[in-house]
Chains A and B, each alone.
Chain A
Amino acid sequence: MTANVGIVIVSHSAEVARGTADMVRQMVGDEVPLAFCGGDPGGGLGTNVESIMSAIDQAWSDKGVAILVDLGGAETNSEMAIEMQPPERQGRIVVCNAPIVEGAVMAATEASGGAALDDVKRTAEELYPG
């Protein structure tokens, strides 16, 4: 099993998603499972449940997965993707209420030390409380 919580980045923009993932990789490193998705197949803006489910699979860890989202549909589609997961994964995937870029770096830093999913989520949300 992977020792660290995984991070999934879900943006409406493929470039924001990729750039956020780049920041996590360069600032934090490779020890955290990481996946990202964003944009629609035609190159426009959007999010979809299938891509999010695929990203969850890529970043899956037995310690769980923390999802960072940008706006509206990214959050609701992430919640739908979580609902469609098999029962054994339910409760081990959370959406963080945090800004996508900063939250991803904070969450990954916490996750890199082997922290539990609750601690990873709390750290992401601690940056801008409320």
Chain B
Amino acid sequence: MSTPNASGNVLLTHAVGLHARPSVKLTKLAKTFGASIDIAPGPDGPWIDAKSIVRVMGAKVPQGAYLHFRAVGQDAAAAVAALIGLVERDFDDTPADAASG
């Protein structure tokens, strides 16, 4: 049996893109899953480790980009669904957070 894998993408609507606070939230959520998870600013990459706060923040994915996810591991599908949910909820930010990045 092959290892489960999953992928998906979501439009990044957050006002400042994938900046400091959204990056921390995304990384923390990714770390709660056993699956290995990569994110990319487009379908062709460059793929970076979603559990690396330094790389996620360093990617500087802008508002309006489609954030792509791919995951491999037993909880891959749940991981991708949860991460897409976080982006769709605008990282659970308050409006004040969004304004200040």
Instruction: Give residues in A with beta carbon < 8 Å to B.
Output: 27-29, 105-106, 109-110, 112-114, 123, 126-127
Closest to A127 in B: B54
Q: Which 6 A-B pairs have the closest CB atoms?
A: A113-B31, A109-B53, A126-B54, A27-B24, A109-B24, A127-B54
Q: Give how many A-B residue pairs fall within 8 Å (CB-CB).
A: 29
Tell me how far the C-beta of A98 lies from the nearest C-beta in chain B, rounded to whole angstroms. 10
Query: What are 28 A-B pairs with beta-carbon distances under 8 A?
Result: A27-B20, A27-B21, A27-B24, A28-B24, A28-B28, A29-B28, A105-B20, A105-B24, A106-B53, A106-B54, A109-B24, A109-B27, A109-B28, A109-B53, A110-B53, A112-B28, A112-B31, A113-B27, A113-B28, A113-B31, A113-B32, A113-B51, A123-B52, A123-B53, A123-B54, A126-B52, A126-B54, A127-B54
Per the bound structure, the CA–CA distance linking A109 and B26 in Å amounts to 10
Q: How far is the CB of A5 from chain B (nearest CB, A)?
A: 13
B positions within 8 Å CB-CB of A:
20-21, 24, 27-28, 31-32, 51-54
Beyond A27-B21, A29-B28, A127-B54, list 9 extra A-B contacts (CB 8 Å).
A28-B24, A105-B24, A109-B27, A110-B53, A113-B28, A113-B32, A113-B51, A123-B53, A126-B52
A110 to B51, CA, bound (A): 8
In the bound complex, residues from chain B placing their C-beta under 8 Å from that of A27 are 20-21, 24
Nearest-Cβ distance from residue A42 to partner chain B, whole angstroms: 34
Find chain B residues with CB under 8 A from A28 CB.
Answer: 24, 28
Measured between beta carbons, the chain B residues less than 8 angstroms from A126 are 52, 54
Cα distance, A114 to B32, chains bound together (Å): 9
**What separation, in Å, do the CA atoms of A63 and B53 have in the docked complex?**
20
Chain B residues, CB < 8 A from A113: 27-28, 31-32, 51
- List, in ascending order, chain A residues with CB within 8 A of B21's CB: 27
